[in-house]
Amino acid sequence: AQAVDAKYLVQGTIAPDWIETEGEIKTHHNMALPSGMVLKVVEPVRDLYKDEVREVGTELGLPDSIVQRQPFPGPGLGVRVVGALTRDNLAVCRAADAIVREEVEKAGLDKELWQYFAVLTDTKVTGVKGDERDFGYLIVIRLISSVDAMTATVPEMPWDVIRTISRRITSEVSEVTHVALSISDKPPSTIEFC
């Protein structure tokens, strides 16, 4: 910011971000700014919910590819890695997440879901690769429907898609031995794990 003499920080903060942070449900990255920051924070959609932000985007003439895309956390995959945030762990999460996205989109389910992604847990479990015992990570897949991000449900999904995701992750991502499906609504859970 200093190198370009920036005076403002414009953020995409929406109502659920500050409601959940102030309610101590979870701290959103855009609500925990460093103390002593001299930039003026501008949050043009702060009081809107995601569905309202999408309406604004549509009114502004933005293409559906932008307006309807699934939300992605500001800190990136870092919030989808439980435990140590290392390059290796990010690579595992990224590979599993790509498979989830590919299979959901290939099945045409992306229009029905609010978010669909993989979470790398810090849990290692016993598995079998070939005829050998293996000890690898547990990936959790999260498939969520929502309108406003304040509440979310887990919709019924075709079992063949879930099974394909699991089989691809365990065969293509060598560090993973187990895949689980998160079936918890919001509340009591949050959409993202971290």
User: Residue 73: what pLDDT?
Assistant: 80
Query: Are residues 85 and 153 located together in one domain of the fold?
Result: yes
Q: State the Cα angle at 19 between 14 and 23, rounded to 5°.
A: 155
Per-residue pLDDT of the chain (194 residues; tens, 9 = 90+): 678 889 998 988 889 888 888 877 777 777 667 777 888 989 999 999 989 999 999 999 999 999 988 888 877 888 999 999 999 999 999 999 999 999 999 999 998 999 999 999 999 999 998 899 999 999 999 999 998 888 999 999 999 999 999 999 999 999 999 999 999 999 999 999 87
Instruction: Assign residue 108 the CATH number of its domain.
Output: 3.30.300.10
- What are the two backbone dihedrals, phi and then psi, of residue 162, each rounded to the nearest 5 degrees? -60, -45
Of 69, 91, 124, which marks where a domain is finished? 69
User: Residue 1: what pLDDT?
Assistant: 65
Query: Are residues 153 and 82 located together in one domain of the fold?
Result: yes
User: Residue 105: what pLDDT?
Assistant: 96
Query: Are residues 62 and 146 located together in one domain of the fold?
Result: no
9-24 core/surface letters (b: 16 or more CB in 10 A; e: else): eebebbbbbbebbeee
Which region holds residue 136: left if phi is over 0, alpha if psi is between -120 and 50, else beta? beta
Query: Are residues 29 and 60 located together in one domain of the fold?
Result: yes
User: What domain range includes position 16?
Assistant: 1-69
Q: Do the strands 40-42 and 8-10 form a parallel or antiparallel pair, or are they unpaired? A: parallel
Query: Are residues 90 and 114 located together in one domain of the fold?
Result: yes
Query: Are residues 46 and 125 located together in one domain of the fold?
Result: no
Query: Are residues 57 and 86 located together in one domain of the fold?
Result: no
Provide the number of structural domains found in the chain.
2
C-alpha 73/C-alpha 61 separation (Å) is 24
Quickly list DSSP for the chain. Answer: -TTTT--EEE----HHHHHHHHTTS---GGGSPPTT--SEEE-TTTT--HHHHHHHHHHTT--HHHHTSPP--TTGGGGGB-S---HHHHHHHHHHHHHHHHHHHHTT-TTT-SEEEEEEEEEEEEEEETTEEEEEEEEEEEEEB-SSSSSBB-----HHHHHHHHHHHHHH-TTEEEEEEE---BTTS-SS--
Query: Are residues 9 and 96 located together in one domain of the fold?
Result: no
Residues 6+ apart with CB under 8 A from 152: 114, 144, 145, 146, 185, 186, 191
| Residue 154 · residue 143 · CB < 8 Å | yes
Of 48, 69, 90, which marks where a domain is finished? 69
Query: Are residues 189 and 102 located together in one domain of the fold?
Result: yes
Q: Global pTM? A: 0.83
Please give the biggest Cα pair distance in the chain: 61
